[in-house]
A and B are shown apart, each in its own frame.
Chain A
């Protein structure tokens, strides 16, 4: 295992006019490992991803890749540096073929200039091969429409695409939150395959169970700060859930609900 993290964020803060969205965030993602970023809605997960992937520039702090300080002046720069973000719905066009989706924006070409064209045969072959390598065996023809794939398979398409184009850090933004139970487990398997191939995976989720299933390192965000940072096996699921909900606040809330229930009981008997 390398000791230098593939991607490291040091004391990152991000301020928007009037709002401090991120405060002093430090985290590391290692090649061949999964870093889970957990947090409730509004905890600052999406601001953090956007800062990581070059959409926002941090107000202070440093981002390092392979130990070198980098500055991204846009998502394209981040992508060139090997950071690839896959969003919730996979970013595929349903009425286009699997292969055309796979190579969208980076199409293989053949022929001389006035007759230069999309090399569909090559695209089909590579797309099918890469999808099979990600364990999607049902796709045997690159001409199949992406819209005929399941949600999990579409995620696989995006992940396979990112890896084919040399992603070294794979940022998965809530990949399981729109999926059913079975498809979620497919996606979790994809995460395992991606890290087996030496990619540093950053897995953003608010599902503690999904995180614990595949994570090696965990960072819990609350109100733009790192509330906890630990490695696999250090916390149980219920500890993690309590952390995400803000610890004591979660217990307070349980008490409040209990009090409401009791008040209702009293009202009914009165």
Chain B
């Protein structure tokens, strides 16, 4: 792409930025591609399924809810991807979170808050175990967390059956706990608010804190990070825990919202969350990704998920759509990243 070379005598450059410059900067942001995809898809489904209810408040709340669930899992998993590690155990942690709530609240009658705390402790333990095994053995996290996924699925089902005789329990909730984890505000479920809240928090962490700087450095060039004194193991361990916590939170939210704890829940998230991350511009090889991108990636996924349903077509097609989308996204991301890197070159 032809670009005007930066003027060699920079002091002669006017301070005012031409509007063309600003447009170019916006286009060069890697989120631009995914935003474009989200808008195009929304317009597409509005045109095809608008008359069949896609534009109603319920449908909007529907795709936002779907986006939020995938989005929360994707936020945690993406931070870890940025740091250069995979977490395949996220899907099973959604189920484990739900199982803890089912067993604790549904069977033993514990308070929701206590069970949320137990689920969080479990998530921290699993995250730390993933980190410990990956960092100590030097095995790829892909394999370590694959094993963890299988183990957690087995343990969730087994414990449920052992303690309660079933893997699916009714989880009653009321009061503040119900509002916080399973409430709805108008048509919007509390999950959507959790998603935005977490998104803001993680965006702040990645962009504004020193820990965020380290996260990008660890995934971008681990040798450079190590030689500059970044505590690589601590950064990765914290992010394994974050990934696990986010997935478990979705399990908790779903359980309270649907009043049912089910250990088999969430297996799909391992695909959908990673797909949302990739659509959102996160580099699978690490070192790159933004919260804005990840959140729009989640939105895109939600729009397609619910959009196909409203068209009246068989939802079998959803997956085909998403597959094509992931592929396009990867190609587009690659292209935009190259543009961004070329922008400063002479």
Contact A93 B217 (CB under 8 A): yes
Once the chains are docked, how many angstroms separate the CA of A87 from the CA of B343? Answer: 26
- Chain B residues with CB under 8 A of A144: 344
Contact A145 B212 (CB under 8 A): no
Contact B341 A94 (CB under 8 A): yes
- Interface 1/0s, chain B 307-338, versus A by CB < 8 A? 00000000000000000000000000000010
Once the chains are docked, how many angstroms separate the CA of A150 from the CA of B275? Answer: 34
- Stretch in B34-42, B159-167, B223-231, B247-255 with 4+ CB within 8 Å of A: B223-231
Among the listed A75, A116, A148, which residue makes an inter-chain contact with B345, where contact means beta carbons less than 8 Å apart? A148
Among the listed A91, A96, A106, which residue makes an inter-chain contact with B216, where contact means beta carbons less than 8 Å apart? A96
Contact B340 A92 (CB under 8 A): no
**A107 beta carbon closer than 8 Å to chain B:** yes
Contact A118 B210 (CB under 8 A): yes
- Interface 1/0s, chain A 70-108, versus B by CB < 8 A? 000001100000000101000111111000110111110
Chain A binding surface, main DSSP class:
loop
Once the chains are docked, how many angstroms separate the CA of A76 from the CA of B231? Answer: 13
Nearest-CB residue, chain A, relative to B208:
A117
**B287 beta carbon closer than 8 Å to chain A:** yes
Once the chains are docked, how many angstroms separate the CA of A144 from the CA of B10? Answer: 15
Max chain A Cβ within 10 angstroms of own Cβ: one of B214, B217, B230, B337 = B217
**A138 beta carbon closer than 8 Å to chain B:** yes
Contact A95 B208 (CB under 8 A): no
Once the chains are docked, how many angstroms separate the CA of A231 from the CA of B212? Answer: 48
CB contact list, B206-238 vs A, under 8 A = 208-210, 212-214, 216-217, 220-221, 223-225, 227-230
- Interface 1/0s, chain B 243-265, versus A by CB < 8 A? 00000000000000000000000
- Interface 1/0s, chain A 21-64, versus B by CB < 8 A? 00000000000000000000000000000000000000000000
- Interface 1/0s, chain A 224-252, versus B by CB < 8 A? 00000000000000000000000000000
Closest 10 CB pairs of A and B: A148-B344, A105-B228, A93-B220, A105-B229, A91-B224, A117-B208, A104-B228, A93-B221, A107-B210, A147-B341
| Contacts A93-B220, A106-B229, A116-B209 known; 11 new A-B pairs at CB < 8 A | A75-B227, A76-B229, A92-B224, A93-B216, A95-B216, A107-B210, A117-B204, A117-B208, A144-B344, A145-B344, A148-B341
